[in-house]
Amino acid sequence: MAHHDTLVYSQPDRNLAMELVRATEAAAIRAVPFIGRGDKNAADKAAVDAMRKFLGTVNFDGVIVIGEGEKDKAPMLYNGEHVGNGRGPSCDIAVDPIDGTSLTAAGRQNAISMIAVSDRGSMLDASTVFYMDKIVCGAEGIGVVDIRKPIGENIRALAKAKGKDVHDIVVAVLDRPRHAQLIEDIRAAGAGTRLLLDGDVAGGINAARYETRLDLCVGIGGSPEGVATACAIKAMGGLIQGVLAPKDDAERQRGIDAGLKMDYVYSNDELVKGENTFFVATGVTDGQLVDGVRRKGPIIRTESIVLRSRSGTVRRVIADHLAEKWLGDIDDVEA
């Protein structure tokens, strides 16, 4: 029997996703009092504390590969920290208690709380190089889109593959000064842009989903977010490619010393190895991916998305939580 138990727990299984969603729900709910209050650090701390508390009860031995930073700078959910109750499968974890802390602080859309999980040793540890140039789209882009090609060429090729007019293609890009030329090139190709203020994980996932207006998500964002997005894209059968974008020679060398490849296109399977990934996200504020936390009388309602690559499923989880159980922390949430 003991041998059988070992087999059962050797890899993360389907029940793990439903355990993890409790942690993202908790982080999202705890962040709510800080929506629109201008203090992104307070929002992040509240979400981190809640997520960590719930992760401690989950049946797994998780190692945070992508967390809130190094141990001395991030007291909790730091890179290398073990979470879970230590029983069950060994996993790599990427956490972002709030992807879009500045969105939350400003009261803007598209802030989410997220966790990505895969088998131990399968996530690329790109922590030494903070930025990554990415391209993300749905299955139609496989073998068609290539990050090494000019963006106009990719837009035309994707439009053809999707049977759409170029003018109907919509490309998500983080609204940053570094992307001024990229945005110009997208528009020059005839496509439209959707400029993201923050949170390119949701942008990448939306580009791979069937029911959104987004066709492509491109540009330089965080490397950790690229690896987390790859976990989600695996469950959706889409495409993600990433090229590390060190900001200077010193960071480039640190990356090389850590075994990372520069000027190299990382495929989905290199960002996250294997076919056993989970991605769980709960909306903090409303967005295209999920609705934000809602207060409805005595109830707090959350919406989450749960993706699992092994089964290729995308589940939506609507949960109603009794507000009194959260000790009145979010009295000023509007319905």
First-to-last alpha carbon distance for the chain, in angstroms, is 50
Per the annotation, does 198 bind a ligand? yes
Per the annotation, does 222 bind a ligand? yes
Alpha-carbon span 299 to 295, nearest angstrom: 6
Per the annotation, does 199 bind a ligand? yes
Smallest Cα–Cα separation from 235: which of 318, 99, 138, 162?
138
Length of the chain: 335
Per the annotation, does 133 bind a ligand? no
Per the annotation, does 184 bind a ligand? no
Half-sphere exposure of 95 (CA within 13 A, CB side): 34
User: What are the backbone dihedrals phi and psi of residue 130, each rounded to the nearest 5 degrees, phi first?
Assistant: -70, -35
Per the annotation, does 165 bind a ligand? no
Per the annotation, does 200 bind a ligand? yes
Burial of 216 (0-12, 13-18, 19+ CB in 10 A): buried
Per the annotation, does 178 bind a ligand? yes
Per the annotation, does 176 bind a ligand? yes
Alpha-carbon span 279 to 96, nearest angstrom: 11
Q: Which pair of tokens denotes residue 130?
A: 């903070």
User: What are the backbone dihedrals phi and psi of residue 281, each rounded to the nearest 5 degrees, phi first?
Assistant: -140, 140
Per the annotation, does 44 bind a ligand? yes
Per the annotation, does 100 bind a ligand? yes
Sign of CA dihedral 245, 103, 314, 92: positive
Per the annotation, does 210 bind a ligand? no
CB 169 within 8 A of CB 215: yes
Per the annotation, does 203 bind a ligand? no
Strand partners, 92: 63, 118
Q: Which residues are annotated as a binding site for Mn(2+)?
A: 44, 68, 96, 99, 225
Annotated binding-site residues for substrate read 99-101, 131, 176-178, 198-200, 222
In the annotated binding site, the residues are 44, 68, 96, 99-101, 131, 176-178, 198-200, 222, 225
